[in-house]
Amino acid sequence: MMEIDFVRSRFIKHFDGKTGNVYASPGRINLIGEHTDYNGGFVFPGAVDKGVMAEMRANGTEDTVMAYAIDLKDRVDFKLSDPAGPRASWARYIYGIALEMKKLGVPVKGFNIAFAGDVPLGAGMSSSAAMESCFACGLNDIFGDNKVSQWDMVLAGQATEHNYCGVNCGIMDQFASVFGKAGCLMRLDCRSREFEYFPFKPDGYRLVLLDSVVKHQLAGSPYNDRRNSCENVVKHIQAKHPEGKFETLRDCTWEQLDEVRAEVGEEDYKRARFVLGEKDRVLAVCDALNEGDYEKVGELMYQTHEGLSKDYEVSCEELDFLNDIAKECGVTGSRIMGGGFGGCTINLVRNDLYRQFIATAKQKFNEKYGHEPKVYDVVIGDGSRKLC
């Protein structure tokens, strides 16, 4: 995590010299359960030790926000009452979350904000959810007496993506960022919203991310198309079974999927096939973890990669290449992490293989693509919080 003084010195310099309160929220990893959240399935994320830190203070105006993005050295001022909102994509997260918190009854007025992040952008580690939950946490504290619940802040972050940023995401990222706990992964049932903390200290293994540095951008990407395909399949299954209630693919069986195969077409069929398989894999991973069977966990991770690459088609050449290297090196488990279309692989590696794997991946990737992948050792950290 960054130093508070770093953010504070910029906040003082760019505004009126006064200090505010400082909040932090993390990015996330996800062990397994990809593209299952908006399908009512299970996910298995954890917060990381990297994220976003913001200093915020009410500025006494009715609705003028003065915002400074420290990393970009970019200042944008806007009014919450302006229906169009700011154009800078980073400022839209502030505008969006402020309006969503207002909808929840928080009397948000004008404020100053300066923020910075150390969660890599575009790596599929949810820098955007880190921003949303950090700003929500601050607004809730400054204007709302902390009356908004953690779950409502999760949903406000998700609504910000839907309503102001063009990504019809699920709830995994905002959930992980708000509820994260050091040392624990969380298994979340995205339909009932029940979850449990899972202490994660795999004896003899570690988690490492390899960032392909292929830019991951979900806005305007085929992410929303994937969601539409899943919803289309559900619609067809519902039409065939008017007696049942089918809200998401979570409610659908393999037999029902096969029944609509011809009418939905091969592409949507493959998307749904991945989701049904992934739903089962999350539960299988939980069982394997309970038994300490990390080799089984790894095998399921490889299956997820295969499905994301061939059926869901959200991989890219560089990520498939990283996955192949992992396999060749004997790495226990490896797969694309997050939405896909670039970003990272997450790897479950035996401690004794770690150094050789990283060295081989760097060398081979560099030979092929002219640069090394970035390496992030996973440290599972805490969720959104006020620092001072």
Paired tokens of 368 = 């092929």
- Which residue in 74, 73, 95 sits closest to 86, CA to CA? 95
CA 228 to chain centre: 19
Distance between CA atoms of residues 196 and 287, nearest Å? 14
Paired tokens of 325 = 């290297």
**Is residue 71 within 8 Å of 10, Cβ to Cβ?**
no
- Which residue in 222, 246, 379, 178 sits closest to 314, CA to CA? 222
Paired tokens of 161 = 């993506």
Query: What's the min distance (Å) between Cβ of 153 and ligand GLA?
Result: 15
User: Pairing between strand 385-386 and 74-79?
Assistant: unpaired
Active-site choice (173, 268, 311, 320): 173
Q: Is 107 exposed, middle or buried (0-12, 13-18, 19+ CB in 10 A)?
A: exposed
Give the nearer residue to ligand GLA in terms of CB position, either 15 or 44: 44
Query: What's the min distance (Å) between Cβ of 161 and ligand GLA?
Result: 7
User: Pairing between strand 385-386 and 374-377?
Assistant: unpaired
Give the nearer residue to ligand GLA in terms of CB position, either 138 or 339: 339
Give the nearer residue to ligand GLA in terms of CB position, either 38 or 78: 38
Task: Please count the residues of the chain.
Answer: 388
- Which residue in 39, 69, 38, 202 sits closest to 135, CA to CA? 69
Place of tokens 């991310």: 209
Query: What's the min distance (Å) between Cβ of 30 and ligand GLA?
Result: 6
Give the nearer residue to ligand GLA in terms of CB position, either 31 or 169: 169
173 catalytically annotated: yes
Place of tokens 């599929």: 124
Query: What's the min distance (Å) between Cβ of 270 and ligand GLA?
Result: 17
| Segments in 55-148 forming alpha helices (H) | 89-103, 127-143
Paired tokens of 254 = 């393999």
Give the nearer residue to ligand GLA in terms of CB position, either 20 or 381: 381
Give the nearer residue to ligand GLA in terms of CB position, either 7 or 171: 171
Query: What's the min distance (Å) between Cβ of 38 and ligand GLA?
Result: 6
Give the nearer residue to ligand GLA in terms of CB position, either 51 or 170: 170
Distance between CA atoms of residues 42 and 40, nearest Å? 7
Distance between CA atoms of residues 331 and 324, nearest Å? 10
3-state SS of the chain: helix, strand, coil percent to 5? Answer: 45, 20, 35
Query: What's the min distance (Å) between Cβ of 35 and ligand GLA?
Result: 5
User: Pairing between strand 64-69 and 111-117?
Assistant: parallel
Query: What's the min distance (Å) between Cβ of 371 and ligand GLA?
Result: 24
**Interface ranges with ligand GLA (CB under 6 A):** 34-35, 37-38, 126, 169-170, 172-173, 338-339
Residues taking part in catalysis:
173
